[in-house]
């Protein structure tokens, strides 16, 4: 089938206005929030599970490749379509809340639903959805499922996989199956757990059953200001050692603080070396007791100042700097490369010192904004793509990832492997480990038609796209 015929066939499934193939239109879909770019061949935007299945089946019959896409907020190149003979399936039209079960505290949603919109929809019932990536005002549930996204509150409540009960999935041949369901415990293999975090390589999620939580009776947010990063790091360990698992435990370094104050001043002192955001929630008595202990630990470990808030609007102000930190980095450099390596909490300071060494060696400023409670670092390598600095920034990022693994950590806590970290997978996994993962992918998608070129190392360096594998048996006039 030639390109024009394929476009017509896709238009017959989803409507002419929802198939994009003009080069100008395709530029919108060439990247996600990572540094990787590649223009897809065609973008199709289905409105239902049935349309997704028909698109996938058509691609299967023609031997074409597929890349699912949500809001494009991913940070590892997971939504970037490698190869021009690729159909990108954008799921943003599928954004409905299909069912809310207040008794069993769950909801059925479509993958294009924006994360924060889910909590907004169920808040009238006194419920909320716990995973809250920093991009939650834009990112979608389907993308969160693909990357097993976390967020500031995953320390206490877990990542996406802890809140997904079931997924309706379109497989490689266009067939539709359910993994898991509406129950919290099902016999047999945990196929839902295998699918969440599959980075779009196993299938396309078209419905998601999520677990909801009752809104806590009380919430208290603390902002602790430290003159030394060592003291702030000690406070992180001290809070956990006191037997408290906060809802959130976040840290920002001086460069991130200065960026925030440049962009949207929130009252962070620009001479502080670190600020620590701590949030506790639960029953009112529990929050009061834990709050007192958090304050005691921070002050005993050298906090210059301690602020706290119980009122929602006041808490939002304390969080404003952390939530807006990444955007604020634009006041320092036009581009950033954001990492998410994870290290043991006890080695936070050691790895942060290694990050400083990388900063000196490579000549790029590096801001640190991270989930300190679970050791999920987010070093941001700041650079100027216009000056041809991207490759050197990627090298600096690679050095940081190696430092995380050497410290007993892992390559990614919530952003996924995607394109950017695939070359580093052998740092953590043996050839036998990787082969076992590939066999799992084969069980779901034996033809490797979904999101090719992601997760598994294929010889390219970090952040360097390589040719997409092509399917055999394509006719001579197949579109490329």
Does domain 218-323 correspond to CATH entry 3.30.70.3450?
yes
Q: Region 430-434: what's the mean pLDDT? A: 97
Residue 474 has pLDDT above 80, yes or no: no
Domain boundaries, the chain: 3-92, 97-214, 218-323, 333-415
Does domain 3-92 correspond to CATH entry 3.30.43.10?
yes
Tokens read off for 252: 């920002």
Choices 3.30.70.2740, 3.40.50.1100, 1.10.287.610, 1.10.3470.10: CATH for 333-415: 3.30.70.2740
Tokens read off for 99: 């069912």
Q: Please state, in angstroms and rounded to a whole number, the distance separating the CA atoms of residues 52 and 42.
A: 14
The pLDDT assigned to 1 comes to 81
Say which CATH topology domain 97-214 has. Answer: 3.30.465
The yes-or-no answer to whether 97-214 and 333-415 have a common fold is: no
The pLDDT assigned to 447 comes to 96
Residue 221 has pLDDT above 90, yes or no: yes
- 31 strand-pairing partners: 37
Task: Express as a percent the part of the chain with pLDDT over 70.
Answer: 95
Average pLDDT, the chain: 93
**3-state class (DSSP) for residue 426:** helix
* Of 120, 175, 164, nearest in space to 142 by CA: 164
Q: Please state, in angstroms and rounded to a whole number, the distance separating the CA atoms of residues 23 and 43.
A: 11
Residue 213 has pLDDT above 60, yes or no: yes
* Predicted confidence (pLDDT) per residue in 248-293, tens digit: 999 999 999 999 999 999 999 999 999 999 999 999 999 999 999 9
Q: Is the separation of the CB atoms in 403 and 355 below 8 Å?
A: yes
User: Is 466 or 240 the better-scoring residue by pLDDT?
Assistant: 240
Q: Is 454 exposed, middle or buried (0-12, 13-18, 19+ CB in 10 A)?
A: buried
Distances (CA, A) of 374 to 152, 157, 164, 196, 315: 10, 12, 21, 20, 22
Express the helix, strand and coil content of the chain in percent, nearest 5 each.
40, 20, 40
Q: Where would I find the beta strands (DSSP E) of 236-378?
A: 248-253, 274-282, 303-309, 335-338, 366-370
Residue 77 has pLDDT above 50, yes or no: yes
Distances (CA, A) of 318 to 263, 279, 301, 314, 322: 15, 10, 21, 7, 8
């Amino acid at each position: 089938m030639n390109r024009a015929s394929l476009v017509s066939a896709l238009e017959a499934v989803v409507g002419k206005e929802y198939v994009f193939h003009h080069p100008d239109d395709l530029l919108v879909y060439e990247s996600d929030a990572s540094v990787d770019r590649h223009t897809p061949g065609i973008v199709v935007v289905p409105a239902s599970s049935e349309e997704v299945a028909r698109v996938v089946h058509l691609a299967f019959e023609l031997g074409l490749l597929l890349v699912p896409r949500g809001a494009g907020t991913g940070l590892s190149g997971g939504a970037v379509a490698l190869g021009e003979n690729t159909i990108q399936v954008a799921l943003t039209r599928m954004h409905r809340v299909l069912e809310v079960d207040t008794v069993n505290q769950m909801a059925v949603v479509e993958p294009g639903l924006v994360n924060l919109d889910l909590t907004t929809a169920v808040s009238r019932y006194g419920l909320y959805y716990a995973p809250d990536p920093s991009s939650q005002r834009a990112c979608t549930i389907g993308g969160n499922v693909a990357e097993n996204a976390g967020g500031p509150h995953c320390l206490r409540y877990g990542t996406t996989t802890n809140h997904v009960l079931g997924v309706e999935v379109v497989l490689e041949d266009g067939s539709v199956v359910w993994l898991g369901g509406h129950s919290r415990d099902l016999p047999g293999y945990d196929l839902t757990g295998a699918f969440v975090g599959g980075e779009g390589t196993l299938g396309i999620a078209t419905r998601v059953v999520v677990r909801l939580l009752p809104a806590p009776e009380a919430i208290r947010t603390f902002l602790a200001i430290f003159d030394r990063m060592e003291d702030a790091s000690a406070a992180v360990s001290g809070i956990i050692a006191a037997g408290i698992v906060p809802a959130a435990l976040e840290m920002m370094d001086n460069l991130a603080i200065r960026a925030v104050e440049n962009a949207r001043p929130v009252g962070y002192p620009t001479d502080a070396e670190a600020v620590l955001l701590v949030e506790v929630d639960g029953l009112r008595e529990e929050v009061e007791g834990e709050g007192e202990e958090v304050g005691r630990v921070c002050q005993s470990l050298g906090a210059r100042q301690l602020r706290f808030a119980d009122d929602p609007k006041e808490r939002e102000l304390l969080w404003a700097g952390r939530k807006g930190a990444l955007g604020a980095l634009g006041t320092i450099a036009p581009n950033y490369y954001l990492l998410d390596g994870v290290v043991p909490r006890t080695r936070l300071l050691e790895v942060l010192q290694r990050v400083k060494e990388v900063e000196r060696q490579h000549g790029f400023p590096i801001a640190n904004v991270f989930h300190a409670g679970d050791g999920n670092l987010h070093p941001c390598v700041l650079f100027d793509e216009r000056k041809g600095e991207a490759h050197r920034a990627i090298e600096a990022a690679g050095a940081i990832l190696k430092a995380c693994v050497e410290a007993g950590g892992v390559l990614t806590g919530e952003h996924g492997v995607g394109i950017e970290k695939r070359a580093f997978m052998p740092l953590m996994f043996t050839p036998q480990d990787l082969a076992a993962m590939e066999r799992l992918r084969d069980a779901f998608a034996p033809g490797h038609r979904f999101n090719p070129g992601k997760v598994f190392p294929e010889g390219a360096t970090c952040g360097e796209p390589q040719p997409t594998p092509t399917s055999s048996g394509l006719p001579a006039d197949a579109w490329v």
